[in-house]
Amino acid sequence: MLPIPTRFALVSGAAEGREPLTAFDAALLAAGIGDVNLLKVSSILPPGCREVERLEFPPGALVPIAYGAIRSTEAGARLAAAVAVGLGGPGRPGVIVEHTLRGSREEAERVVRAMVLEAFANRLRGEPAAVRVASAEHVVERTGCAFAGVALWFD
């Protein structure tokens, strides 16, 4: 059984690359998580998981993360990625959502905030104690990527 994460950090970045994969990799570097292996997870923040500004990972670590990433090779396209965390009250889980779109970071942030409220209403029968949001926006020059995530880690 895997341990339950105890800390989380919101991360985001945007970048250009020669290819879609290298644009994604450069966005991960810009977000500060470029030297790890991402394990994509879904939507639940464990009870008591605390927010930190930055997480330190050993190179090559397997890092649980909920994320959204959008890539494009269309010059001039505006890309946005956003994540939101709805924090539960004491002893209650939280919710993580992500969204990507062709448009502005403000639009992506509006969507994830609304998604957190809906998820709390559906799953947890209430409202979040707080909502945290991170986003990235990028206008493509050649090949670009916008990335936002909620990285989870352990004490």
What pLDDT, in 10s, does the model give residues 139-153? 999 999 999 999 999
Q: Within a domain: residue 74?
A: yes
User: What six digits make up the tokens of 114?
Assistant: 């609304």
Closest to 12 measured CA to CA, from 147, 131, 139: 147
| Residue 1: pLDDT over 80 | no
Q: Within a domain: residue 2?
A: no
User: What six digits make up the tokens of 130?
Assistant: 């707080």
Q: Within a domain: residue 20?
A: yes
The one catalytic residue among 12, 16, 19, 42: 42
The one catalytic residue among 72, 98, 135, 137: 98
Report the DSSP pairing between strands 62-72 and 37-40. Answer: parallel
Q: Within a domain: residue 44?
A: yes
Is 56 one of the annotated active-site residues of the chain?
Answer: no
Is 98 one of the annotated active-site residues of the chain?
Answer: yes
Q: Within a domain: residue 46?
A: yes
Residue 60, sorted as left (phi over 0), alpha (psi -120 to 50) or beta, turns out to be left
Q: Structurally, how many domains does the chain consist of?
A: 1
The one catalytic residue among 16, 43, 51, 107: 43
The one catalytic residue among 12, 16, 19, 37: 37
Is 43 one of the annotated active-site residues of the chain?
Answer: yes
Q: Within a domain: residue 89?
A: yes
Is 135 one of the annotated active-site residues of the chain?
Answer: no
For residue 97, the enclosing domain spans 7-153
pLDDT number for residue 35: 96
The CATH number of the domain where 124 resides is what? 3.50.20.10
Which pTM does this prediction carry? 0.96
Contacts of 28 (CB under 8 A, 6+ apart): 13, 34, 38, 147
- Hey, which residues does 63 pair with through a beta bridge? 38
What pLDDT, in 10s, does the model give residues 65-94? 999 999 999 999 999 999 999 999 899 999
Burial status of residue 33 (CB atoms within 10 A of its CB: 0-12, 13-18, 19 or more): buried
Q: Within a domain: residue 58?
A: yes
Q: Within a domain: residue 1?
A: no
Q: In which residue are the tokens 């464990």 written?
A: 46
